[in-house]
Structure 1
Amino acid sequence: MTHFWVDVRPWRTDLATAAIEAGAGALVVEAAEDARALGRVTTVAPDGDLVLGTDVLFVEVTPEAPLPQATGESLLVVSTPDWTVIPLENLVAVSDHVVAVVHTAEEASLALGILEKGVAGVLLRTDDATEVGRVAAAVAAKAPALGLEAFTVTGVRQIGMGDRACIDTCSLLAEGQGMLVGNTSSAFFLVLAETAENPYVSPRPFRVNAGAVHAYLLKSDGKTAYLSEVRAGDGVLVADGKGTTEEAAVGRVKTERRPLLLVEAETAVGRPAGIVLQNAETVRLLGPDGPVSVAALREGDVVLGLAMTAGRHFGMAVGETITET
């Protein structure tokens, strides 16, 4: 997800506290011990978790100074004296590691939309602690949107007992939100959270009954994880039917032996897709007219999913030829 950092040099406790409460990913400080006194937070400092000059490079772009070399894995924190957009556009065009120095939420929104791609993150410099929350909201609003498409169900059948994983998040998910899960790394189904009323069990809006333990889960960093690998404290991607995304923290994963269904489908271009889910009324996918319980799913029904072309190697997208069935 997008980096959101706050510069707290010289040290100000109120600014640092506001940053931590707003969910800032890191604080830029003169000494890491200042921030650590307030709690666990990533620091950018000579003695920090991210080391200045090694992990993070600061540069100022002026008309007289050439654009820096945006190469390697180090994050490049770029400032311009009059907050000029053109240098950022040039850097973003060649690097995914540019963090823009901003002073307001408006500047943050602009930087996050540059070239329809946006910078990798923003570093806020301000004397106003209330601006921290506004910039945090601007960053959250720029979470990547996914292009979901219609999958046509080609078959649903019982396949016996197996281990399935429920992912319990630290967030209350809304109706229509869920996680993207699939048997293969080329097609993910939107599996909804348990937000619906049911005569047999109370809603659990923090929970997604995500599927069998072998399945891939799409994460917020674009990588995948097997459901069997997800642990408390991990960040997972939450999406809705419009493709709007956000990140949620995992609080618990419950793996239990349950009866399973294999759902098979075709993507919009006729490629195969599949997912193994628990055979239960409370497990739902999202159709064009709303949620559909897997217990009622039939051949010819349409559900939403995400089709991808790259294969996966240790969770990362790769260009090699990979066939999954």
Structure 2
Amino acid sequence: MIQVWFKAVPFDKTAVTLALESGVDALIAPADKVDEVKALGRVVVFAEDEVDAIRLESKADEEAATRCLRSQGKVLLRLGWEIIPVENILAQGEGLGVEVASLDQARLAAGILERGVDFVVVVPEAIHDLKAIVAALKLSEGRLELSTARIDAITPVGLGHRVCVDTCSLLRTGQGMLVGNSSAFTFLVHAETEENAYVAARPFRINAGAVHAYTLLPRNRTAYLGEVASGREVLIVDAEGRTSLAVVGRSKVEIRPLILISATCGDKAGTIFLQNAETIRLVRPDGTPVSVVALVPGDEVLCRLDTAGRHFGMAISEEISEA
């Protein structure tokens, strides 16, 4: 993930406070202000002279930046950089950062060579774009392709341990987590954003499924729901496939009555165990939530298809069958 830094040079305490509230990964400050910045929050702070900064104005500058990257493991390109020289330097290794003065520049830097630079440094002139830059580079995980699955059967199966994932975020209608018995076929399980006559909405919560199920995580990894714990990041997905990150506040594992939901999408079949309760919902293709107790065979819900092979949560090329 690309890191977002803020350049607090010249020093401005109000700007530094805003940067800390925005969630930056690090700050660059005048050497005599480093301790003062560290006293404001737990964050990495670099003295201005600790970061090698190069302005690209010639091929010689590009070559100097490459040498610095190889020897020091980190180099910062000042404003005025252009894409081709940055691509050339980025191809030589990790540790490259660039200064940015707008959200558009930050997005551009994040897409170079399809992986982006390792960090962007937001200059003081762009302080008003800082929160948007952090959200765009640190919270968004891009867009996933979702498919439409047809419900085949809904079967009560007795008691089991299910996992409620309570996040540190307030989710919206249409958002949830991708969960399934196989990593190759996951269902969009909706957050508890909807109120009913018996239970208040809990928009921070996804009642995600049984402990053994897979859930898709950031950076195309997976985990068993039983492994999800406080402080871990989970992937939030909406009905359009847009993704974001949320931090887990707590994970509640409790014994509850379960139902087994079976569905097909094209020539692929998938299943999921969910709690048998009205507040647990999947998502229809139009983005509206549908309670699992209202589902009937033939209903359509959103899912994601993938390859089945996983080793410690990472996708691998392997012949595998899951039932």
> Into which bin does the TM-score normalised by the smaller protein fall?
0.7 to 0.9
Give distance in 2, aligned partners of 1:32 and 1:187.
49
In 1, Cα distance between equivalents of 2:261 and 2:178: 14
Matching residue of 1:49: none
- Displacement of 1:239 in angstroms is 1.0
Q: d(CA) in 1 for partners of 2:26 and 2:164?
A: 30
Match among 282, 286, 296 for residue 285 of structure 1: 282
1:63 corresponds to which letter in structure 2? K
What percent identity do the matched residue pairs reach? 43
SS in 1 for 2:108: helix
Q: What is residue 163 of structure 2 aligned with on the other side?
A: 165
Name the counterpart of 2:27: 27
1:217·1:224 contact (CA, 8 Å) conserved in 2?
yes
Bigger drift between 241-250 and 80-89 goes to: 80-89
Correspondence 1:7 to 2:4: no
Superposed, 1:195-214 pairs within 5 Å as: 195-214=193-212
What does 1:146-165 align with in structure 2 at a 5 Å threshold? 146-165=144-163
- 1:287-320 deviation digits (Å, cap 9, x = unpaired): 1242221112223322111212262222222233
Structure 1 residues 206 and 229 mapped into 2: Cα distance closer, same or farther (>3 Å)? same
CA offsets 1:230-263 (integer angstroms, 9 cap, x no match)? 2222221111010111111222222111011111
1:70–1:95 Cα contact (<8 Å) kept: no
State the SS of the aligned residue for 2:174: coil
Query: Can you list the C-alpha shifts for 1:119-156, whole angstroms capped at 9, x where unaligned?
Result: 45422233564343343354368541111111222322
Q: Deviations along 1:25-72, whole A, 9 cap, x unmatched?
A: 23345587444311222x1649xxxxx79xxx8776542233738999
Which secondary structure does the structure 2 equivalent of 1:221 belong to? helix
> What is the aligned partner in structure 1 of residue 59 from structure 2?
63
Provide the C-alpha distance between the structure 1 equivalents of 2:151 and 2:95, rounded to a whole number of angstroms: 40
Larger Rg: 2
Offset at residue 84 of structure 1 (A): 0.7
- Distance in 1 separating the partners of 2:149 and 2:186: 10
Matches within 5 A, 1:268-307: 268=266, 270-289=267-286, 290-307=288-305
SS at structure 2 position matched to 1:88: helix
Partner of 1:185: 183
Extract unaligned runs of 5+ from structure 2. Answer: none
Q: 1:107 to 1:307 in 2, by over 3 A?
A: same
- Distance across 1 between alignment mates of 2:69 and 2:275: 46
Coordinate RMSD, CA, aligned: 3.2
CA distance in 2 between partners of 1:267 and 1:75 (Å): 47
Distance in 2 between residues matched to 1:310 and 1:58, nearest whole Å = 45
Aligned pairs, how many? 314
Unmatched runs of 5 consecutive residues or more in structure 1: 47-51
Which of 72, 97, 110 is equivalent to 1:112?
110
Higher deviation after alignment, 142-151 or 234-243: 142-151
- Residues 70, 97 of structure 1: 8 Å contact kept: no
Q: What is the SS of the residue equivalent to 2:124?
A: coil
Task: Specify the alignment match of 1:323 in structure 2.
Answer: 321
Deviations 1:145-203 (A, max 9, x none): 11111122232212210010111112211111111111122222110011112122111
Cα 1:77/1:138, change in 2 over 3 Å: farther
The answer (yes or no) to whether the contact 1:70–1:91 under 8 Å persists in 2 is: no
Deviations 1:257-282 (CA, angstroms, capped at 9, x unpaired): 101111122234x2232211101111
Residue 246 of structure 1 aligns with an amino acid whose one-letter code is S
Cα distance in 1 between the residues matched to 2:16 and 2:123: 12
User: Is 1:14–1:129's contact at 8 Å kept on the other side of the alignment?
Assistant: no
Rounded Cα–Cα distance in structure 1 between residues aligned with 2:173 and 2:153: 26
> Which one is further off, 164-173 or 23-32?
23-32
The two structures have a TM-score, normalised by structure 1, of 0.83
For 2:25, give the aligned amino acid: G
Q: Which amino acid letter does the alignment assign opposite residue 283 of structure 2?
A: L
Q: TM-score, normalised by structure 2?
A: 0.83
Residue in 2 aligned with 1:231?
A: 229
